[in-house]
Structures are given as structure tokens and as C-alpha cells.
Amino acid sequence: MNRKNEVVAALDLGTTKVTVLVAEVGEGGMSVLGVGTAESEGLRKGMVTSIGKAVEAIRKARHDAEQMSGYMISQVVAGVGGTHVVGVNNHAMVSPKQHEITKHDVRRVLDLAMAFSIPVDREVINVLPQQYVVDEHDGIRDPVGMSGVRLDVDVHLITAARAAIDNIQKCAERSGLQVVEFVANPLASALAVLEDNERELGVCVLDLGGGSGDLAIWANGSLLHTGVIGAGGNLITRDIATGLRTPAACAEELKVKYGSAWGRMVAAGETIDVPSVGGRPDKSLSRHVLTEIIEPRVLEIFGLVRREIQKTGLDDLLAGGLVLSGGAAQMPGMVELGDELLNLPVRLGVPRGVKGLTSILGNPALATAYGLAVYAALPFRGDVPEPMLPVRQLKSHGGVGAWFKKAVGFLF
């Protein structure tokens, strides 16, 4: 292993699963060394509902990731999800001290842009510069060294409920992990699945998990909108359980095995066996009956997404269409129905540019965990000018380098 390489660890607390991912970052890019996942019950839509159950799941996921990677994890970048995650755009201006703009001027203007007044029960978790404007020239990514009498910056700030963040921190700490930075799930998923040219062209990412749908809109290479809709694949499972009067676990199995989001894609005459509750005999049903339950719910979810996109007024910018990730994106017909309903080209998004454990990571449900590691590794890539990097809100002292050194230790 190259001695210059660093190792990062990510923690994604999802509604249905907890994932811990360990990756190595170096000049050659990022390479995934270990992934551990555990079913979770202690969370709902990004909010911790049982600390004990969440801790149990984190410990298991951590253990598996450590065994696979050979590293002992002590610090993580943690994802924050749920409808309390909201993005806002802000703007600030300074007069450079000298005629030439310095790193210090960039820091000053970013500090001003981050000084956004929010209620005490909320916190800014991520700050992403969108563009700099020097005098009247906009679209600048690196203003350092340029001449000008005025420096403006546009930023995207992502805020989240303080209580939700504190609870994630508590669960991590009780599992023996220190959270060094929080990253909004929609940002992480976008970093995991989007191509650079899609971010330039204009694109929306929807990570449809079990409890929520994380949404991020990018254009001209910048993040313009972040939001979360409170609906996910678990609603579909619940509808199947109620509609077919079958236990939730069977409904989930039927959904994953035979579910289709679009009735048109299911051949006539196909039948499935449905286990019943209360000792009643199993039933044989047409697969179309299952689709008739799923399709209206998926239409409703895409309807919420359409409304959220329209609310931003950015719908005309999405030439790159919609990229669908998250576990629920795997259902046959999702992409096709989304395409039809949203009137946008839709594609399935899986972690891109993956090195190491490629067979495990070809799964859209791992987009958030992978994206958290991509976020942590951004400063080491060298292809993003420093003024465009997310402003680190590190919870540990000593900066990014220091936490990378402490984050993991050798296990074997």
C-alpha cells in the first residue's frame, strides 16, 4: 500500500439497514476495502426511534466492515437523512484587502455566506460553494490570484434538525465511534452516482430508500437544491401486506421477487403464491394483482417528486434527467414509469468509478454509504479547486489530515 494513502470510514443509518464502509484514498483515487451492513429497526425516515436497536445494528455493521477491510474503525463520517434535511441558497460579498484576491479573502466571504440565521433547533451541516463572482465576472471556480475590487460567492447550505444529529452522534458514540463530520444523505448519494457531465448539464438525483426519498438538483456543476420526501419502499410493502392480507415479511418478499412498478411490463396469466395469516391456506393470485397495488403508490411517490422539483423552479434545467438510486430503485418498471410520469430521461444510479469490492457495490442501495466516503475523500482528489470544495465542519480538532490519521488503525 502506498504510504501516502489515507483510510476513511462512513456510517449510513438507513431506515432498513445500517452500513459501515471503509475506503482507501490516494493519488490513484478511492478504493473500497470493506463494507458491513446490518438490518436496522431503530430508525424511521432518518430519525432514531430506538437507540438500543440502532447501536446493535451499528456494532454488527462495523464488525463486518472491520473484518473485511482489516482496519479497526474509530472515527466516521455519518450521513443525515429525513425530511428535516433542507437546503437553502445564500450569497455574500467582501472587498478584497489588496487588489489581488487571496485565500484569506475566499475564507472571509465563505464565513459570511455561512453566517446564516437559523432557528436554534437546527444546524448547518454542509456548505457547498456554487460559484464566485469577481467584479462583474461570474461562473468563477477559483478566484485566488485574480484582480478585482469585489468578491461575491453563492453557496448552498444544508441544514438539519439538531436533535436528529445529536441522536445519530449518541448512537455512534455508544457503538464506540466518533462522528467527525455529518453529511446530508442527498448530497452523498449524488456524489456517488452522478457523472461530472450530468452535474454540468443539469440533473436530479432521487435516492429512494425504505423510509424516505432523498432529492438533490445540480446544474452548471453546482448543487442548487436539497430536499427529502417522506415516502419510500416501505410504504409499498405496507400496501401489499394490507391489500393481500399477508404478513409484512411475506409482503416484502413478494415485492422483491415479483413486484413490478408498471403493470404494462407484466405478462398476462402469470400467477404467484401468497402466504396467508392466521393459519389460513395460501392463495394463488395473478401477478397483475400485485402490480395493481404497487403502481398507484409508485405514481404517488413520483408525484411528490414532481411537485418538489416544480417547487424549486429548476425543472427547465434538468437536461440530464433524473438518476434513481436507493434500494427501492431496483424494482422493475421504476425507471420506465418515472420516465413516463416525470417526462424526464430516467436512469438507474449505482456507485460509479468503484475500485475494490465492485460486485458488492453494484447495488443502488449502497449509494449513500459510498457517497459519504467520496465526500470525505474530495480534498485528496486534486481535481476540484480548493475554493470549490465543501467547507469542512469538522467536529474533531486538527483538520482533515488529523482525523484521517486517527480514523482507523490496523486490525491485524
We find the least distance from the C-beta atom of residue 192 to ligand ATP, in angstroms, to be 12
Query: How many CB atoms neighbour CB 134 within 10 A?
Result: 17
Binders of ligand ATP among residues 192 to 231 (CB under 6 A) are 209-212
Out of 9, 11, 13, 14, point to the residue binding Mg ion (CB under 5 A): 14
Contact between 81 and ligand ATP by CB under 6 A: the answer reads yes
Which string of b and e fits 240-254 if b means at least 16 CB within 10 Å? bbeebebeeebbbbb
The dihedral sign for the CA sequence 306, 311, 316, 317: negative
Q: Which residues pair with 384 in a beta bridge?
A: none
Which C-beta is closer to ligand ATP: that of 143 or that of 233?
Answer: 233
Contact between 46 and Mg ion by CB under 5 A: the answer reads no
Contact between 326 and ligand ATP by CB under 6 A: the answer reads yes
Which C-beta is closer to ligand ATP: that of 133 or that of 165?
Answer: 165
Out of 34, 42, 96, 209, point to the residue binding Mg ion (CB under 5 A): 209
Phi, psi of 102 (to 5 degrees): -110, 170
Per-position x/- string for 103-142, each x denoting binding to ligand ATP as judged by CB under 6 A, each - no binding: ----------------------------------------
Amino acid in position 37:
T
Which C-beta is closer to Mg ion: that of 82 or that of 202?
Answer: 82
The dihedral sign for the CA sequence 199, 112, 80, 312: negative
Out of 327, 333, 338, 349, point to the residue binding ligand ATP (CB under 6 A): 327
Contact between 371 and ligand ATP by CB under 6 A: the answer reads no
Q: Which stretch binds ligand ATP (CB under 6 A): 9-17, 26-34, 150-158, 374-382?
A: 9-17
Contact between 259 and ligand ATP by CB under 6 A: the answer reads yes
What whole-number distance in Å separates Cα of residue 35 and Cα of residue 225? 29
We find the least distance from the C-beta atom of residue 16 to Mg ion, in angstroms, to be 8
Which C-beta is closer to Mg ion: that of 48 or that of 408?
Answer: 48
Per-position x/- string for 328-347, each x denoting binding to ligand ATP as judged by CB under 6 A, each - no binding: x-xx----------------
Taking CB within 5 to 8 Å according to partner kind, which of ligand ATP, Mg ion, none is near residue 212?
ligand ATP
- List residues binding ligand ATP (CB under 6 A): 14-17, 46, 81, 209-212, 232-234, 237, 252, 255-256, 259, 326-328, 330-331, 365
- List residues binding Mg ion (CB under 5 A): 14, 209, 368
